[in-house]
Each structure stands twice: as structure tokens, then as C-alpha cells.
Structure 1
């Protein structure tokens, strides 16, 4: 009989506004306990998931499972990069962009059952001023929304929509100078998203052709557009046709420098981050194993 695999479940108790009090019991019912020996830890502070991931490598765990949203995945993924220890995902966030792209079930029981297969894929990660991201990083409008949403008492899609409406009324486009694989572009942009995977979450696709395994990032520049076009922009997002909008320009690249006149918020996998000055963005091919 093969040795049991030691796996650590790292649970974000507040992600997605969902209670997870019965989660451990569900795992013990659904996981193949002949093959897996599960341990459970809850996060209690920012960056705690990262610390638990690093400790799991030292303690020779065979896998670490993120039970949360894209922020929890980001912290654990950042800890596991280059270690060979695979990351599993039980999607419990507001958007679940990376999990949706990878075909991981949104249903909790089905996602736990999927771990029993223990099949992995190698995925790329991006870095923005050396801070890793696995789904999408961005600046401009969506980063301002993430910043607002992080400070909102209401989580989930309703809270996110409220943040969008609050920011939309007073947001002004900015001037950027982008250097993508040595070529320079000057743009006045509503926002810039750098996509490793195609969607933010909730099936809103900003970069329909992005792939986590092609060694390239998609730089999505959303140009200034008249407000009456907004319903059409939203339609493009959910119809996987953002690349067909005259207001969206997508440029693939491996080494990206973004120079900006104003220092505004940046988001990394949906989490706001205070980064000042220029932004240096790179791709690290096949740097993380994910169970899917």
C-alpha cells in the first residue's frame, strides 16, 4: 500500500462572505483517507497563508490546498513557487477567476472530490515589481475598485458591484508609457490589466485568449470610452469578446515596463497593493504546480 500523502488545507474563514464551519467535516467525508492524511489551518491575518505555505514546504507536505478566493491562492502560490509542492484549490472567493479557468468545480464537495485524482498542471506566474500574481494584475479603474471593495463591509458580487458604481462616477483616465518586449507605446487609458489567465472571475473575460501555460502575459489596455458605451463594454466582458471592442487593445509580452504620471492603486489577483513609481512586470513560465 502506498504511503499516505500529507496535505494541508489552508482555510480563509472570511473569503467570499461564506461560513466554513462544516468544511473540515466535509473533507473527512469526501477525501480518500486511505491515500491522504489531511491537516487544517485557518488564516487569522494578512499574509498568514503565505507563512503557512512556507512552513508546509519545510514540513514536507505533499500538497497545500487553498480554501478561499484569488487572494488566498495568491499568498499560497507565492509561497510554493519553484518548490515542486502542488497547490490545490477549493474555490470559496467572490470571483474565483483562476479556478473557473482551470475547470475546478465551484461546488465544494465536487472540488474536494477532484483532489482525489491528484493530477497536476504546470502554470506560469507573473510578477509585478517582484510580487507574484497567477490570474490578473492591473492598474487604473479596476485597481481603484479593488481598493474600495477591500474596505467595504459587504463581500461577494453585490459588494463588488457597489464598489464599481461608487468609483465609476469620479474616476478619470490616466496617461501611461508602456514598454512591451522593447517596443514603446504611449496610451491614455481607463485601465490596464496584465492577464495570465483570461478572466477576473464570475466569467468576466478581459483577455479571452490568455493562457496560464504559454509563457506570455496579455497586456489589456482599455482606452477612454464614453459612458454610454458602458453596457456594451460589460456585454463584451461576459461574452468573451473584449478583444473585439474598438476600445480594447491587447498586446502579448514577456517583459513589460509601465511608467505612469500618477501613483494610484495596483491590484494583484484582486487584492489592492500600494506600489509607487514605475511597474516592472515579467512572466515566470511553468513555475507552479496546481492540482486540477
Structure 2
């Protein structure tokens, strides 16, 4: 019998009995299961080596919390694959991995028996003072601004994940029209890109934020980043595109500037940056970024 460790992030709207239901559903499919709430304490970290795979029940932030522990573990520690039960608002990680968040939880659990291991690269970001990692994206401009604005946004009328995603798009639209463009310099493989950008993202997955698809061709295991940026002269076109998304226009499209890179350096004067869902003060310029291949494994439905 394969043993799982269920790492759950109980949200404000979760029923008290949900953790019991999750454990029961997993055990009914023939898996052993031990439950931990990642909000309560860190005792789950000591139990990882006892499991054949970890189950993360939550959103992108919960996945990052678990991944952060796995990345920091000693190289001799057991390599544990991750299965996702998507329960967040945006679920950008599961979307990139082809995990349908519309499916019932029971279906996801059944799928683990026919799953395959999907390699997952991570991004490492460093300067002389510090080193950190990201699994989704790192960037400047609009998304750090959006993260701040959403903290202060009126969510009194938000009743569902769909409502929250639409609110985020509406806040983003306002920011696109008002935000200052920031000077940037990107260097990679003998090429230099310069200008003033509204958005600059180093993507390791396909979408970020309110499911904004910045890098539809991005792969979790191709050994390269998709570097995406929107320049000042694209401001109005980008605002129009966001408005089309708000209006649920199915043919909405926008041409991002982008290129692939395994290594690059960034110099940007933005006041803030983000690593995945963490808003941070910018690290000292210039930053060096590179891809570390096959650091993680996720369980996905096999072909």
C-alpha cells in the first residue's frame, strides 16, 4: 500500500469535516493517509520521509510552501513526488500541469493510480547578498503592484473564486492605465534587451495572477525560462486586452514580447518585485537567474 501525507490549507470557507472527508476518500482508493494542516504547525516536515508521495490540498501558495521545504532538504533526503488537489482561487500551477480543477476531488484521487511523474524545473535567483528560488514566476511592475492593490481591494461582493479573479482583472486594468513604466536591462546569451516596461516576468509556468496566460508554450521540464515583457508603447493595447478578458471575450489576444533563456541577468529600477506569490523588496541589481532542472516531480495523469 502506498503511503500519502496529506498537506491541507484549510481556508475560511472550508467545512470542519473536510479534512476527514479528504482522508476517507484517499483511503477508499487504497492509499494510506496521514493528515496535517499546514496552517497549524510545521510538524509535517518531519514526516515527509515516511510517505511515498505528498498530497497538497490547496492553492498555489500552499504548493509553494511545501515545495520550499522540499527544495531546502538535504540532497540525500528522499525525493518525494507531489500530487495536487486544486483548492485555490487561481490554481495556476495545476493548470500548467494539466490538472483540471473542475473535476471532483474523488476523480483526482482515482487518477493517481494511473499517473506518471512529471519533471519540474525551478528558477534560482541570486545576487552577492542572497539566493532564493521560484517555481511559478519572478517579476517586476504590474504584478507586484496588483498583489499590493488586492490586499486593499473591497472584496465585500466577492462570493466565489470566479468573482475574485474578475475583481483582480478589474484592478489590473486600472493599474495598466496608471502605472509608471520602469527602466530595465535584460542580458542573455550575448543579447541585450532594454527599454521601459509595465510588466516584466520570468515565467516557469504558463499563467500567473488572475489566470493571465503569459507563456502558453511554457513547459515545466524544458530547461528554459520564458521571459515576457510589456513595454510602455503597448500600454493601451494591453489595457484593451485586459478589458476584453473582463468582458469574457473568447477571442481576446495580446502579443507579448518574449524570448527563452536558460540564464539571464536583470537590472530593473522597480520599487518592488515578487517571487511566486511573495511580494519582496527588490534584490540588489543586477540579478542572476538560472534554471535548475528536474528538482521536483509532480503526479499527473498519464497518456
TM-score using structure 2 length? 0.79
Report the secondary structure of 2:50's partner residue.
coil
Greater mean deviation of Cα atoms: 281-290 or 129-138: 129-138
| 1:120 alignment partner, one of 110, 117, 122 | 117
Aligned-residue CA RMSD in angstroms? 2.9
Indicate the SS of the match to 1:26: helix
Q: Which residue of 2 aligns with 1:91?
A: 86
Q: CA deviation at 1:250?
A: 0.5
Corresponding residue SS for 1:31: helix
What residue number does 1:144 align with?
A: 145
CA deviation profile, 1:85-108 (whole Å, cap 9, x unmatched): 011111111211110121212134
Shift, 1:188, TM fit: 0.9
For the residue of structure 2 that corresponds to 1:71, the secondary structure is helix
Aligned position for 1:212: 220
Instruction: Extract unaligned runs of 5+ from structure 2.
Output: 159-163
Distance 2:275 2:252 in 1: 22
* Structure 2 partner of 1:69: 59
Mapped to 2, the partners of 1:127 and 1:220 lie a distance apart of 17
Determine if the alignment matches structure 1 residue 8 to structure 2 residue 5. Answer: yes
Work out the CA distance in 2 between the residues paired with 1:86 and 1:116.
14
Matched, 1:265 2:272: yes
Unpaired segments ≥5 residues, structure 1:
none
Cα 1:111–1:184, aligned 2, differ >3 Å: closer, same or farther?
same
Asked whether the 8 Å contact 1:138–1:194 carries over to 2, the reply is yes
Please point out which of 78, 95, 100 is paired with 2:68.
78
Q: Secondary structure at the match of 2:120?
A: strand
For the Cα contact (< 8 Å) 1:31–1:115, is it kept in 2? no
For 1:240 and 1:87, the matched residues in 2 are separated by: 34
Deviation at 1:167, TM superposition (A): 3.6
Helix, strand or coil at the partner of 1:79: helix
Which whole-Å CA distance do the structure 2 matches of 1:166 and 1:233 have between them? 10
CA deviations on 1:167-187 (whole Å, 9 max, x unpaired) are 445411100111123432212
* Alpha-carbon distance in structure 2 between the residues aligned to 1:203 and 1:286: 25
Q: Contact 2:6–2:54 at 8 Å: present in 1 too?
A: yes
Aligned to 2:290: 282
Q: Distance in 2 between matches of 1:7 and 1:222?
A: 42
- Is contact 1:176-1:186 (8 Å) kept? yes
1:196 corresponds to: 204
**Aligned partners of 2:252 and 2:290: how far apart in 1?**
25
Say if 2:122 and 2:293, in contact at 8 Å, map to a contact too.
yes
Residue 35 to residue 229, structure 1, CA distance change in 2 (3 Å): closer
Alignment correspondent of 2:236: 227
